[in-house]
Structure 1
Amino acid sequence: MSKHVAVYCRVSSRNQQTESQKPDLQRWVDAYAAAQVIWYEDRYTGRTMDRPGWKRLMYEVESGRVSKLVVWRLDRLGRTARGLTALFDEFPRRGVGLVSVKDGLDLDTPAGRLMANVLASVAQYETEIRGERVRAGQSLARKRGKRWGGSDPGRLLYLSRDQVDLIVDLHQRGRSKAAIARACGVSRPTVYRILAQHDSP
């Protein structure tokens, strides 16, 4: 069975582009790829591994058709330490190498595996710190009497987990902010706030 090099690009939403990642990845391909190269792409949050392009890629990995996976940075694979470290264990078992171009990392080496786990922890730390900053800013705003997302003057709108998930899902499907606000019964500033908290490009 012939194997190929898989190149994976990801951004967090349909409004963002993967073009900034592709020149570095193409340079790696031109310099090092000795086998067929297949590109996979997602415009989807890194907080879940349930992404269309990623699922196609993992099907190929599990079928034994991938020799190496190349990404721009490790956080393009995902943004949770648990998800990333699981991949770092699975890829060597399946004989799949992993290269992160911007991180200068190659999972085929002991030093690369150590660095990969450190970077996975850093990615999760950055996500958690970003969330803490958002919550601290909201707390300070409430103390100063600031209101947002309310349909009645002076009323704060607290969203359920289902509402937040629906806002993010509709955004990933390419719906406009105004359409999302109407569908979820919230204001456009609330939609912007939820999307800003949810992930980074």
Structure 2
Amino acid sequence: MEKIGIYCRVSSKSQEDDGTSIDYQLKKGNEISKKLGMNPIIYNEGGKSSWDSNINTRIELVRLLNNVESKKIKSVWVWNMDRMGRNSQSWYSILKILVGYRVNLYVGDSLKPYNFSNPTDRLVTNILSLITTYDNELRRIRMIFGKMETLKRGRTFIGGTIPFGYDVDESKNLIPNSESRMIGKMFQMYEDGKSTTDIQVMLNQSSHFPRRSKKGWNLG
């Protein structure tokens, strides 16, 4: 049975919430592969941004492209074109391989692939990729300006993860909490000549955890 690579990726929590979660992408990819009568090979990138032009930071994408080059798979499915790349430079690196090995690219619910041996499909894919990149760059610019306006209005919390040592009040401003004394202790240790490793050990021995992990503090 012919194999098809199912590539899944999200880059933000909002994408997990708006109907394009990893689970949803896996479900749709498996449905498409079943309809096509192909054996799905899963490449689950999890939460990983695609803004970086260096595609080597995305391990599963690299594995997929390696399998294309070794001719283990000739078909690939993604929920949306921007799952593979939002950055023009990275997308053309990916496209070069897909075109070179004449991969059939299935997108979304469509059972009709983009055939890269067909010049019309190559043109359409390039146009769609440019539109997607343009739209994402505009969205990113709007987000940056939105955060700048929030700061200008005097609000110190502009979204995302609340920093360690702070809470957010009703006016969306950051206010120190009981953890803030640990921040003072960290600065004092650094001023006293302690290393970052010493500070890490101190934090791991405390009852406080990082915002995004319960596995302890790291140096990076």
Name the TM-score class by shorter chain. Answer: 0.5 to 0.7
| Aligned position for 1:9 | 8
Higher relative contact order (Cα pairs below 8 Å, separated by 6+ residues): 1
Tell me the C-alpha RMSD between the 2 structures.
3.6
Give the equivalent residue in structure 2 for 1:59. Answer: 66
Q: Percent identity?
A: 22
* 2:113 partner letter: D
Please tell me whether residue 94 in structure 1 is matched to residue 93 in structure 2.
no
What residue in structure 1 maps to residue 124 of structure 2?
115
The secondary structure found in structure 1 opposite 2:76 is: strand
Q: Does 1:22 align with 2:30?
A: no
1:129 to 138, 142, 161: 138
Deviation at 1:84, TM superposition (A): 1.7
In the comparison of the two structures, how many residue pairs are matched? 162
Question: Do 2:69 and 2:97's aligned partners in 1 also have CA atoms closer than 8 Å?
Answer: no
Deviations 1:94-146 (A, max 9, x none): 23221212477632144432221122112211221122212222332343333
Distance 1:178 1:27 in 2: 33
Residue 46 (structure 2) pairs with residue 37 (structure 1): no
Q: 1:76 Cα deviation (Å)? A: 1.1
Give the gaps of 5 or more residues in structure 1: 155-174, 185-201
- When residues 177 and 39 of structure 1 are mapped into structure 2, their CA distance, relative to the original with a 3 A threshold, is same
Q: Give how far 1:74 is off.
A: 0.8
| TM-score between both structures, scaled by the size of structure 2 | 0.59
Partners in 1 of 2:157 and 2:27 — Cα distance? 41
The answer for the alignment partner of 2:148 in structure 1 is 139
**1:41 deviation in Å?**
0.7
